[in-house]
Amino acid sequence: MKAKPVLCCLRRRCLSTLAVRWALAAIALAAAASCWPAGGGHSIIAFCGDAVFAAEAEQQQQQQDHNHPQPQRLQQQRQQQHELPREKSEPREVGELTIPLASPLNAAALDRLRRLVRTDEHARRWAEQMRDEAEPLLDRAPDPLVEIHYEGLVNTDPRRLAAVAKLRQMAHAAVLMRHWQASSDRRAAAALKRLIIAWAGAYRPTGNDVNENKLYPLLAAYASLRSEMPDEDRGRVDAWVEQFGRLHAQAVERSQLFTNRYAKHVRLLFVCGRILDRPKWEEQAIEGARRFAARGLRADGTSEDLHRRDTLTYHCSALTPVLELAMLAGPAGRELYEWTAPEGGSIRKSVEYVIPYAAGEKTREEWKNSTVGLDRRRAEAGLEHYRPGRLFKPVEALELMELAEFFDPKLLPLVQKLSGRTGDRFPTWQTLVNRALDERPAGDREAGPRSANDR
């Protein structure tokens, strides 16, 4: 019997009182003592304590969720009552979280979004849903982390579970930002400012792309609300963003591994440049996205991630950050989407590679030949999503397809199918944002991207 899985199982199944949890931990301690590896570094007692505290944090979150219904529950209620639009928001495994897309919009895009909300029934329904999802979050107190323990840890690791419990605030920030974008609600703006100030005062940037990618909604919100912040708060948060920017600029310049992790660095650098009005950082990020396309994507549409990890999961997550960067970069971003490297790789080709799997025309067994140790450890921990041979689910491509729909409106029927909203003009929130970001005349948008012969 292996000690760590037993303790993790006890943590997940622990009863409602803290006293009983400590008793279970003590029993587990005695049972595990004989099989715990000598000199394992992380002691049995510390592991039991971590497990109990992570469980306690989870129970507190559940109690808070009971007092303040979660967005998903409100969403289900609205669907049952009014059949309003929906989005997939469940994390795929324990120890993970799904953070909704939340892009910073300039003044012109915000104006177009709010005009759509006023004049379009489908857009108005999204605004109503964002209002209902944000309402229970408006008065929640920030609870920031000083360090993020996530990257490289198996999902059931107590340190990761404890971090995820607090990182749920980033999903809340994304919901609050969407509501503010649709409504200009000052309460949502105030809640976002509290989150930004609290996290900027506690968390110390490290340059870790996986961990700090989770904080993207805060940076995106600050890009929109910075001008409204008092001078003293703005100065402190600017200094915090400066640290982010410098660390991720170094990574974009120096890294020679062009995977999803490089793409995360690129997007973080771009938003830091946008916040602090650093055109050089924005240009460096766009050039980094070109390097990613040239060296991380293949002429046949596959990617470095697909070959190293044998999964579309990371192929898709490598493309989504550069797609959002391209959306926000204006004409330079459209050129980036269409650009083909001398070696033949391009963002467009790698998006199109996924379409048959998203449409259900092809199936794919995932993770069978991954060369990354973390993937094997996840499978050994019994996490179904990472089981070698698991079939890729078409809905897993939804986020990629709704971002790509900005560049290729012909993908809208596929987004409608994946989201279950075949009759909606805006089947997801992101497709509404796509329309607000698009400055082209309607005829140009309907024409979609340029063909290879037009480039």
Same domain, 31 and 114: no
How many Å from the N-terminal Cα to the C-terminal Cα in the chain? 61
| Number of folded domains that form the chain | 2
Q: How is the chain split among helix, strand and coil, in percent rounded to 5?
A: 65, 0, 30
Q: Answer yes or no: is pLDDT of 147 > 60.
A: yes
- Specify if 147 maps to a domain: yes
pLDDT for the residue 446:
56
Q: How many CB atoms lie within 10 A of CB 138?
A: 15
Same domain, 131 and 44: no
- 276: nearest Cα among 310, 248, 234: 234
- Specify if 320 maps to a domain: yes
- DSSP per-residue letters across 176-196: HHHHHHHH--HHHHHHHHHHH
| CA dist., res. 242 & res. 222, Å (int) | 13
pLDDT for the residue 439:
78
Tokens coding 258: 């062009």
| CA dist., res. 154 & res. 140, Å (int) | 29
Region 311-318: mean pLDDT is 98
Q: How confident is the model at residue 91 (pLDDT cuts 50, 70, 90)?
A: low
Beta strands in 125-216 (DSSP E): none
pLDDT for the residue 430:
98
Same domain, 173 and 115: yes
Q: Answer yes or no: is pLDDT of 298 > 60.
A: yes
Scanning 297-383, the segments in alpha helix (DSSP H) are 304-309, 312-328, 331-338, 347-358, 373-380
Please write the tens of the pLDDT for every residue from 333-388.
999 999 999 999 999 999 999 999 999 999 999 999 999 999 999 999 999 999 99
- Specify if 214 maps to a domain: yes
Region 319-330: mean pLDDT is 97
| CA dist., res. 116 & res. 30, Å (int) | 62
Query: Which of 17, 37, 66 is the last residue in one of the domains?
Result: 66
| CA dist., res. 368 & res. 405, Å (int) | 30
Same domain, 121 and 29: no
- Specify if 12 maps to a domain: yes
What is the value of pTM for the model shown?
Answer: 0.81
Same domain, 110 and 59: no
- Specify if 78 maps to a domain: no
Same domain, 248 and 305: yes
Same domain, 180 and 44: no
Cα 162 to chain centroid distance, Å, stands at: 18
Q: Answer yes or no: is pLDDT of 82 > 80.
A: no
Please write the tens of the pLDDT for every residue from 372-428.
999 999 999 999 999 999 999 999 999 999 999 999 999 999 999 999 999 899 999
The CATH number assigned to the domain holding 234 equals 1.50.10.100
Look up the domain containing 49 and give its range: 1-66
Same domain, 246 and 189: yes
Please write the tens of the pLDDT for every residue from 67-79.
444 444 444 444 4
- Specify if 239 maps to a domain: yes
Same domain, 292 and 243: yes
Same domain, 286 and 393: yes
pLDDT for the residue 93:
82
Please write the tens of the pLDDT for every residue from 216-268.
999 999 999 999 999 999 999 999 999 999 999 999 999 999 999 999 999 99
User: Coil, strand or helix: which one is 391?
Assistant: strand
Q: Answer yes or no: is pLDDT of 35 > 70.
A: no
- Specify if 93 maps to a domain: no
Same domain, 248 and 314: yes
Same domain, 49 and 150: no
pLDDT for the residue 317:
97
- Specify if 283 maps to a domain: yes
Tokens coding 409: 């409106």
10 Å CB burial of residue 239 (0-12, 13-18, 19+) is exposed
